[in-house]
Amino acid sequence: MKSVISNQSSPLNGTIRVPGDKSISHRALMFGAMAVGETRVSGLLEGEDVLCTASAMRALGAKVEREEDGTWTVQGRGVGGFSEPTGVLDMGNSGTAARLLMGILATQPFTTFMTGDASLCSRPMERVMKPLRPIGVNFVSRDKGRMPIAIQGTSNPMPIRYELPVASAQVKSAVLLAGLNAPGKTTVIEPNPSRDHTEKMLTHFGAEVEVVHQDNGARVITLTGQPELVARDVVVPTDPSSAAFPVVAALLVPGSKITVEAVGMNPLRTGLFTTLKEMGAKISEENRRIEAGEEVADLVVEYSQLQGVDVPASRAPSMIDEYPVLAVAASFAKGTTRMNGLEELRVKESDRLAVVAESLAACGVDLEEGDDYLVVNGNGSPAQGGGEIQSRLDHRIAMSFIVFGMASVQPVRIDDASPIDTSFPGFNDLMNGLGAKVQKKGA
């Protein structure tokens, strides 16, 4: 346990760069391991989640190394070229690593055992197993589709067509990755678009991926199976989900002005910035440019008195990991913020809807938690704080309430900040470098 206290901050000032995008980092290692030749990845997120993916790729026979300058290299095995791992793959805290890998392993002709930490072992995996079974794979799991699981891959995969019942890039990606090794066309229909890093990066590695946008907003993604993936360089942009924390901190701490450089601005990831601007946030995007195929911009953020807003359910996929920190922002805004369509928050690293509600309440915030919504009533002055927050193996809860304590009247204590290392190593030092006062307590 690594407990921290977050005290009221002096104005935040400075220019920072947050670590590489987690979603893109996982995919760079996985797709590199399935390509022929050497893939070089720069800007990889060296967080625990991504390091689990690196270990899994090694266990499956790919050579994955870090060079002295921080570039990662992957010697791929080709699609379908993995070898049976001798041990159990430990995916740690990472839903993305586990679910994407289930798709890949569904069409490798051997049996893999996979586990994770207590958080991952409580998350639903049936959502991935259900669409993958018709491809020919067999799964054995704990009750209710929980990990640990065994994946008995098929040597005779069938392509499938699947309509997603929930907006989930992980489920979409698992099906597409299983389709890589199947003959013919694999199709995924998503009624409400989720992040498209799999589609973009598979195309970058030479696969044929067709995306059709329907009039009703749905996307139909069709992958042609059995391509030869060719090794490519990947430059990972910085993670907008990580940038969210210093951005909200600067908005809440009076007198702050910071620049967050080269933030990934993929439109399927930027719902939080749209929402904050609707709340009156002074966020300007400078130097919008394309870096290695992804849009990035420098964000200049100034302290702002925020107003409550209604956040439509349709925006949820583009800011799904950002609701905890948005709820923190809403606690300092004037008026009511209603966040709708939040049912997916209940199956993240923690039940984020319940944990956010309990933690806000512990910090004196007036709120209402529904099955799939959260209403936060702010009065426009600094929230009280003073809460003792349990992070429950959830990095985004820990970081969100560190941000809360930076702006609240009383300090906020977080029982265990160690989960932050899964996605944002160096978070506390980066925030303290801007002017925050986050202190470590205990071992």
Ligand X SMILES: C=C(OP(=O)(O)O)C(=O)O
Ligand Y SMILES: O=C(O)C1=C[C@@H](OP(=O)(O)O)[C@@H](O)[C@H](O)C1
Give the footprint of ligand Y on this chain (CB under 6 A): 23, 96, 168-170, 173, 195, 320-321, 344
> What are the tokens at 379?
């009065």
Residue 298 Cβ, how far from ligand X at the closest point, in Å? 23
Amino acid type, 197: H
By a kind-dependent CB cut-off of 5 to 8 A, residue 349 interacts, out of ligand X, ligand Y, none, with ligand X
Amino acid type, 270: T
Scan residues 254-313 and list those touching ligand X (CB under 6 A).
none
Residue nearest to ligand X (CB): 95
CB 221 within 8 A of CB 187: yes
Applying CB under 6 A, which part among 93-101, 136-144, 201-209, 304-312 lies near ligand X? 93-101
Which of 21, 321, 394, 416 is the catalytic position?
321
413 binds ligand X (CB under 6 A): no
Among 6, 9, 96, 107, binds ligand X (CB under 6 A): 96
Residue 123 Cβ, how far from ligand X at the closest point, in Å? 8
**CA–CA dist 180, 188 (Å, integer):** 13
Instruction: Tell me: is residue 168 an annotated ligand-binding position.
Output: yes
Per DSSP bridges, beta strands 111-115 and 89-90 are: parallel
240 binds ligand X (CB under 6 A): no
Applying CB under 6 A, which part among 65-73, 88-96, 150-158, 287-295 lies near ligand X? 88-96
Among 77, 232, 315, 348, binds ligand X (CB under 6 A): 348
Residue 237 Cβ, how far from ligand X at the closest point, in Å? 16
Please name the helix (run of DSSP H) or strand (run of DSSP E) that holds residue 363, with its range, or none. none
Residue 222 Cβ, how far from ligand Y at the closest point, in Å? 19
Instruction: Tell me: is residue 396 an annotated ligand-binding position.
Output: yes
Scan residues 358-397 and list those touching ligand X (CB under 6 A).
396
Residue 22 Cβ, how far from ligand X at the closest point, in Å? 6
By a kind-dependent CB cut-off of 5 to 8 A, residue 168 interacts, out of ligand X, ligand Y, none, with ligand Y
Residue 169 Cβ, how far from ligand Y at the closest point, in Å? 3
Instruction: Tell me: is residue 123 an annotated ligand-binding position.
Output: yes
**CA–CA dist 134, 48 (Å, integer):** 32
Give 41 or 406: the residue with its C-beta nearer to ligand Y.
Answer: 41
Q: Establish whether 143 is a catalytic residue.
A: no
349 binds ligand X (CB under 6 A): yes
**CA–CA dist 226, 207 (Å, integer):** 9
Applying CB under 6 A, which part among 8-16, 92-100, 139-147, 338-346 lies near ligand X? 92-100
Say how many residues touch ligand X, by CB under 6 A: 8
Q: Give the interface with ligand X as residue ranges (CB under 6 A).
A: 94-96, 321, 348-349, 396, 423
Just list the catalytic residues.
321
Which residue positions form the known binding site for phosphoenolpyruvate?
Answer: 22, 95, 123, 170, 352, 396
